[in-house]
Structure 1
Amino acid sequence: MAIPLTAGRLLAILKAEGVKTAEYPGWTGRGRDAATGRTFGPVHMVLNHHTAGTTSLTVVAKDGVAGLPGPLAHIHLAKTGVATMCSAGRANHAGTMAKNAYDSFLQEKATHPAPSKASGTIDGNDVSYGIETENLGNGTDVYPRAQYDAWVRINAAFCREFGWSAESCGCHKETSVEGKIDPKGPVEGYSTRGRFEFTPKQLRADVAERLKHAASWSPTAPTAPKPPTTPAPKPPTDTERITALEKRVTALEKRTA
């Protein structure tokens, strides 16, 4: 059983994992517990989203959208890689989860089935931490390298704290019965890897790799291409030196003749 973290502890585990953090005003006391009469926790997974917009911090942290009051996640992750704390309590991010999908994360299975409403449903806001990662979600907007690196670190921080494997890290499209598509889009790169398409499987693989190391670990940075070098000229051979000397002597004789 994983009891939700205090605001202070949540901030601490992210900093220990090397995440750059910020705090939205009032985040430590903001949540949907009192308003809904439902208790946040125990928690069993992390759920990842994209914001489907830009400049969305206030919407995620406080305002919410029509029919869905804020906070809309526990963490807002900007393109700069800065994670802003939005809530330490219950947040409106997960919505209704298919039970078959949720169970696969709860049991940390190696594969996760497509969400089926026929399997039953649960309120995902009760049992999961939510990360809203800034991206248009149009399939072309790129997740910068710094943002993806922080994304991996945040997921790993929760797993490390609760003793979870990377199979406790899910994506909204893997649990939603409402046809959610997030997250999606290209990633600029990670570690020595160049551009690639975001997939939940790759995110979990990168989290799993991170969990093999200490929280202070940083992946290998890409190697900068070496500038082209001009090869050093070869020294002249004895024959070439003699020939050059003979030419100079001949030229001198012509000038003095």
Structure 2
Amino acid sequence: MATPLTPDALVRALRAKGVVVREHGNWRTHNRNHKGPWGPVHGVMLHHTAGSDSLRLCLEGTPTLPGPLCAGLVAKDGTVHLVGWGRTNHAGSGSAAVLAAVVAERTPPPAPGPDAVDGNAHFYGFEIENLGTGHDPYPPAQLDAVERLSAALCRAHGWSAASVIGHREWTRRKIDPSFPMPGMRSRIDARLGPRPTPDATPYEPFPGAAYFAFGRRGPLITAIGRRLVAEGCGRYSVGPGPVWGKADMRSYAVWQRKLGYAGPAADGVPGRASWDLLHVPRTG
């Protein structure tokens, strides 16, 4: 479970994995958020377009299903076209049992049960340009892009490849994508590599938002401040020191804004996604 990435954080994550990105129009604010919530997000859902003029379809949708129909379209050449960010009409209703498996990162997911859960609220959706007939090949560059973008989102949230599912694994109504999902998850898993163990990672694990109460004292607070200063986000007149206070929150809010967060999401209280990107060294 996670707060959705900001558009800027998404672009950085994709490009860091070598994904070729093309941004279209007002994609950063093109969404269906007025129809319901988006988030918390639990995983990535993959689809195929099953038609021609895929880019226009993903942007505009149809008279009965308005766009955007996904966050991004993976073209045959491997380019990821970003068309929307927020709630998009890609998943529809699906299985509560499958969602529970994704949240728990159990793979393979169970066979989908009755449609009971709003998937548009809880998954990043990506369409893959393909007719889905079994006779339209997926070029290597396209599959490589699917692997990379999925790994990028999993890495950003600390998820495993079990957080990536196909639309047909979500609901009995669908057959996409028309390639084996276990094989794609294996590719994503290999790209992610083994998860670091607590003893192996050089960085402090996220202590939880409740840790950051005014007056909290310890060497970790000093380490956070030093990393904020190193990132050009320090707003200290003295220090940083070992006691969490207003200067720390001001500095952390600058870091959040640097990552693309705004409004209440840049309140100076560390969250897991921004914490993981700060790379605070271990203090114990």
1:47 to 22, 45, 48: 45
Give the Cα separation in 2 of the matches to 1:11 and 1:103: 28
Give the Cα separation in 2 of the matches to 1:110 and 1:32: 30
Q: Check whether the contact 2:98–2:111 (CA below 8 A) recurs between aligned residues.
A: yes
> What secondary structure, in the 3-state scheme, does the structure 1 residue paired with 2:124 have?
strand
CA-CA distance at 1:111 after TM superposition: 2.3
Partner of 1:170: 165
CA-CA distance at 1:83 after TM superposition: 0.1
Partner of 1:13: 13
Q: Which has the higher contact order (CA 8 A, sep 6+)?
A: 1
Give the Cα separation in 1 of the matches to 2:171 and 2:53: 25
Give the Cα separation in 2 of the matches to 1:83 and 1:101: 27
Point out the structure with max Rg over C-alpha.
1
Matches within 5 A, 1:43-82: 43-61=41-59, 63-82=60-79
**CA root-mean-square deviation:** 1.4
TM-score normalised to the size of structure 1?
0.74
Partner of 1:86: 83
Give the Cα separation in 1 of the matches to 2:11 and 2:52: 24
Q: Deviations over 1:153-180 (max 9, x none)?
A: 0100010000000000000000114x20
Matching residue's letter, 1:76: L
CA-CA distance at 1:55 after TM superposition: 2.2
> What secondary structure, in the 3-state scheme, does the structure 2 residue paired with 1:25 have?
coil
Q: Check whether the contact 2:32–2:86 (CA below 8 A) recurs between aligned residues.
A: yes
**Corresponding position: 1:115 with 2:94:** no
> What secondary structure, in the 3-state scheme, does the structure 2 residue paired with 1:90 have?
coil
Partner of 1:141: 136
TM-score normalised to the size of structure 2?
0.67
Q: Check whether the contact 2:70–2:88 (CA below 8 A) recurs between aligned residues.
A: yes
Unaligned runs of 5+ in 1: 185-197, 214-257
**Corresponding position: 1:207 with 2:208:** no
How many residues align structurally? 195
Partner of 1:225: none
Matching residue's letter, 1:153: R
CA-CA distance at 1:108 after TM superposition: 0.6
Give the Cα separation in 2 of the matches to 1:77 and 1:139: 18
